[in-house]
Amino acid sequence: MMGYHISLINTTKCDDKDKALYNFDILKNILINQFSLQEQLDNKGQFSFFYSPEDENIVLFYKNNELWANTTDDNVIAILLAISSVLNDGTRVRGDNLETFKSVSETYIHEDDKLIYFIENNKVSKLKEIFYRYGGFVIPILFGLLTWIYHIL
């Protein structure tokens, strides 16, 4: 299935067991009881997806600790934002272009995604890539070491 992939992800540094996205039963309970979503099972009785009986565009899949949809529909983005707010554990809504949604119409590049975003969009040179990867402390240290070596020799 091709299209725009939008997902709930959690890249916070806390223990995974404390993240609702990593516990399907907790997440399922929240989606059904607080968001009136329903669970669709396949012909073997296994989970297939969540959906809204009121809005046919709201179809959410769950795989690899991500709740995701294949859409650009504002209502789907809005419900994902509401879910992330209820989870209140660092979970955020991220789109295909690594943009994190503050609202349906406002996005930014999250700190955890900056390096990937800049590399994928050819926005940094190799030196800047090293700077972003190592938090900017490598370059001053290297410069200081080179200066020290120069003065010794």
Q: Which of 58, 95, 63 has the alpha carbon at shortest distance from 75?
A: 58
pLDDT of residue 1: 47
Full residue range of the structural domain in which residue 128 is found: 123-153
Q: What is the pTM of this model?
A: 0.73
Assigned domain for 118 exists: no
Domain count, the chain: 2
Residues 32 and 78 in one domain: yes
Residues 20 and 95 in one domain: yes
Residues of the chain short of pLDDT 70, as ranges, are 1-2, 14, 16, 115, 117-139
Residues 67 and 142 in one domain: no
Residues 82 and 148 in one domain: no
Q: Rounded to an integer, what distance in angstroms lies between the CA atom of residue 149 and that of residue 119?
A: 32
Residues 19 and 55 in one domain: yes
pLDDT of residue 31: 97
